[in-house]
Amino acid sequence: FESISKNILFSTPFDFHEQTKLIEKGIRLLEIKGNVGLIIVDSLTMLFRSYRVEELEDRKELSDQLTMLLAAARRSDIPVIITSQVYTNIEKGIFEPLGGHVLNHTAKTIIFIQKTENGMRRATLMKHRYLKESESVEFRITSAGIE
């Protein structure tokens, strides 16, 4: 764990604008050092949700964050994993990600993970370029890993 943790950079933004700055900083680090193998943003929309002063400005900033991450992934050929909170669209009777169309349009792969019974989780493929959508798998997270 010690040797791995030395190679991980953690950042915690306190507001949505700071999140943008940290993403920019992380991408600059990637461009300077070049030895980054993965970018994870968990949860991209947590601060977006609580920052609803100007919804249009929020969506543009969210779109800018996603565009920066997508461009960095393409330039450096590394994966970017983003988690998002969801809400229930009562009219449609479905779960939708916060950020709506912005996330659906920009993301290349979307996996919906939900808790099921007995500590299990179900991962369902919602969007992918060439794999069949709606395929799902159940798994459990334990101290030994994923079963």
Tens digits of residue pLDDT in 96-138: 888 777 888 888 899 999 999 989 999 999 999 999 999 999 9
Rounded Cα distance, 21 and 76, in Å: 20
Query: Average pLDDT of the chain?
Result: 87
Question: Secondary structure of the chain: what % helix, strand, coil (to 5)?
Answer: 35, 25, 40
Instruction: Judge whether 110 lies within some domain.
Output: no
**What is the number of structural domains in the chain?**
1
Instruction: Judge whether 32 lies within some domain.
Output: yes
Instruction: Judge whether 142 lies within some domain.
Output: no
pLDDT one-digit tens code per residue, 25-75: 999 998 988 888 899 999 898 887 654 556 777 788 899 999 999 999 999
Rounded Cα distance, 40 and 82, in Å: 6
pLDDT one-digit tens code per residue, 119-128: 999 999 999 9
Instruction: Judge whether 115 lies within some domain.
Output: no
Q: What is the pTM of this model?
A: 0.82
Range of the domain at 38: 2-89
pLDDT recorded at residue 39: 92
Instruction: Judge whether 138 lies within some domain.
Output: no
Sheet holding 110-115, edge to edge: 110-115, 120-127, 136-142, 145-146
Instruction: Judge whether 84 lies within some domain.
Output: yes
Q: Are 45 and 98 in contact (CB under 8 A)?
A: yes
Looking up residue 58, the CATH number of its domain turns out to be 3.40.50.300
Instruction: Judge whether 10 lies within some domain.
Output: yes
Binned at pLDDT 50, 70 and 90, residue 1 comes out as low
Mean pLDDT on 10-21: 92
